[in-house]
Amino acid sequence: MPHPVVVLVSGTGSNLQALIDAAADPLYGVQVVAVGADRDGILGLERAERHCIPTFVCRVADHPDRSAWDAALATEIAAHEPDLVVSAGFMKILGERVLAAHTVVNTHPALLPAFPGAHAVADALAYGVRVTGCTAHLVDSGVDTGPILAQVAVPVEDGDTEESLHERIKSVERPMLVDVVGRLARHGHTLTDRKVTIP
């Protein structure tokens, strides 16, 4: 039986699409059982619907506070009984209820711990680094601080814009995420201090 995975998105969902495509192969061992979002009308939700994957939207603005939103999101996710939750371009900090109930993998468009937060690509360009990249990590209660699972470096080219650099990063980020999610789902992991081992 494939391992059930819930994917959370806020935007175009190209990383989600890579996971859906990979999951078409039974040997990958993953089924995307639901896609959740913090907003309506995004391509990420459309992609899920195209593949007949159930979706849910949990908006912060529909709840009295962050804690109530966290509880509602935890309930939505838990209904799908996932082995793993993937934050793939989900632009909200997850709360304690979601994190207590699930192993969550996040993908981030920089080489953490450099450039955490919501503007990683613009921050790397503004700083003038010649190499940046992407990081897959386990989510903890901090902002992009969890134990690192995988990283891939990407050169910054002269004349790069935020868009061109982000596209170059995403072209390596998608296969990185597909690889890590598949191995984690199939084999599980152990954590010693900050070192993650996937057997």
Residues belonging to the active site: 108
Q: Which is nearer to ligand GAR, 71 or 93 (CB)?
A: 93
Least spacing, CB of residue 19 vs ligand GAR, in Å: 9
Minimum Å gap between C-beta 44 and ligand GAR is 6
75/164 with CB nearer ligand GAR: 164
**Residue closer to ligand GAR (CB basis): 79 or 91:** 91
For ligand GAR, which residue has the nearest CB?
Answer: 89
Min dist. Cβ of residue 24 to ligand GAR (A): 18
What are 87's two structure tokens? 């934050």
The candidate with the shortest Cα–Cα distance to 15, out of 184, 176, 185, 148, is 176
How crowded is the C-beta side of 69, counted as CA atoms within 13 Å?
17
Residues that bind ligand GAR (CB under 6 A): 9, 11-16, 44, 88-89, 91, 107-109, 118, 120, 170, 173
CA 86 to the chain's CA centroid? 4
Q: Find out whether 168 and 135 touch, Cβ atoms under 8 Å.
A: no
Extract the runs of DSSP E, i.e. beta strands, from 130-173.
Answer: 131-138, 148-155
